[in-house]
Structure 1
Amino acid sequence: MNQVDDLAEILPSLLPRLWRFGLRLARNKEDAEDLVQRACVRALERRHQLQPGTSALSWTFSIMHSVWLNEVRARQIRSRASLEWSEELVDTVATPAGSNPELKVLYWEIMKAVDELPDAQRVVMLLVASEGLSYQEAADTLGIPIGTVMSRLARARLTIGQRFHNDGRRAVRSPASREAGNMRDPRVV
């Protein structure tokens, strides 16, 4: 039995990660459910396209991203046709630090900052930082060069860092980011 034949057996184990990614993309529980369902159906219908050696998870993330982009485009067309679309944020993502209120607040502020990123940066941030994909896996998933992934991720991190700096909050920084921060142009405030 090869990877293509195994997809139907593998897919259920991927559902928690697909659900999490779908929820972060769609920002709405019902839309995320639809997105995950459409991505799984498409993956099963096109399982013959899964190349040997390709991660089933990355491949399914790629399908989900494609389905989501199609939905975004359809929404834009509907909005031009004066059809209203209502989005409602769902508070379903569990916090890893639920016992510490300060960390919980910081966690939600970071998630809100990620949600407010432009879509291209947000998707890269979700794949790399949330889902743990390598830069190359994220590039393959999105069908873009690895340099574009690195650039979008850098801009996303800079945007989030500036947001916390501008809000007067002290963000937790690694030694490497502190060192990079010390090399900023002193003329830039």
Structure 2
Amino acid sequence: MNKPIENILPMLRRFAYSLTGNPADADDLVQTTLEKILNKGVPSGVDETRWAFKVCRNVWIDEYRSRKVRQNAVLKPELQEPQTASEHQQFDHKETLAHVNKAMNTLPDEQRAILSLVAVQGMSYKEVASAMEIPVGTVMSRLSRARVALLDMMKPYQIGAGL
């Protein structure tokens, strides 16, 4: 890789977190991504950052089902510790985040990945199109559908500003 890994790592970790919604799973995803990149290398003439995002997305798709099983086990009420009155506000924030993660997980993979790259990573439509090897118009339409779907799913929780 021409760029040092430490320059790509923070962006890759944010992207992985936006896909998984869980810091531990994001770390696992980044580690697996880096292992694949270091073992197989980056094709010549390909931007290392874009390649890292593509590999990360593909690894995540491969591991999506196992991650979802782990996530469902964590969300079961019988596995949660009892909440105290002082934890009420923190619980509300965690509950809201859980609703956002659940809504994100219901989006089709293509929409979720594009929403993550644009909203979390701050990539331009052109950069996303290049990284995912799709036309810019496809990025725009998938992003629009993802935003509308996410806002509709979040209406019962009265959230949605900034998406």
Alpha-carbon distance, 1:71 to partner: 1.8
Task: Determine whether 1:150 maps to 2:140.
Answer: yes
> Can you list the C-alpha shifts for 1:46-84, whole angstroms capped at 9, x where unaligned?
3341425x3x322211110111122236x49xxxxxxx9
Find 2:126's aligned residue among 133, 136, 147: 136
Tell me if 1:169 matches 2:158.
yes
Q: CA deviation at 1:146?
A: 2.2
Partner of 1:179: none
CA-based RMSD: 3.3
Count of aligned pairs: 143
1:167–1:64 CA distance, 2 compared to 1 (3 A): same
Equivalence for 2:20: 26
SS in 1 for 2:70: coil
Residue 109 of structure 1: CA displacement?
Answer: 8.1
CA distance in 1, matches of 2:51, 2:45: 9
Structure 2 gap ranges (5+): 76-89
Question: Which one of the candidate residues 41, 47, 56 is aligned to 1:47?
Answer: 41
Matches within 5 A, 1:22-171: 22-51=16-45, 54=47, 56-72=48-64, 75=66, 85-87=69-71, 88=74, 108=97, 111-112=100-101, 113-164=103-154, 166-167=155-156, 169=158, 171=160
Identity of aligned residues (%): 33
- Distance in 1 (CA, whole Å) between partners of 2:35 and 2:112 is 25
Relative distance call for 1:168 and 1:132 in structure 2 (3 A) is closer
Highest Rg: 1 or 2?
1
Query: Is contact 2:14–2:120 with CA below 8 Å preserved after alignment?
Result: no
Counterpart of 1:38 in structure 2: which amino acid? T
Stretches of structure 1 lacking an aligned partner (at least 5 in a row): 77-83, 90-100, 174-189
Q: Could you tell me whether the CA contact under 8 Å between 2:114 and 2:143 is conserved in 1?
A: yes
Residues 26, 162 of structure 1: CA spacing in aligned structure 2 closer, same or farther, 3 A cutoff? Answer: closer
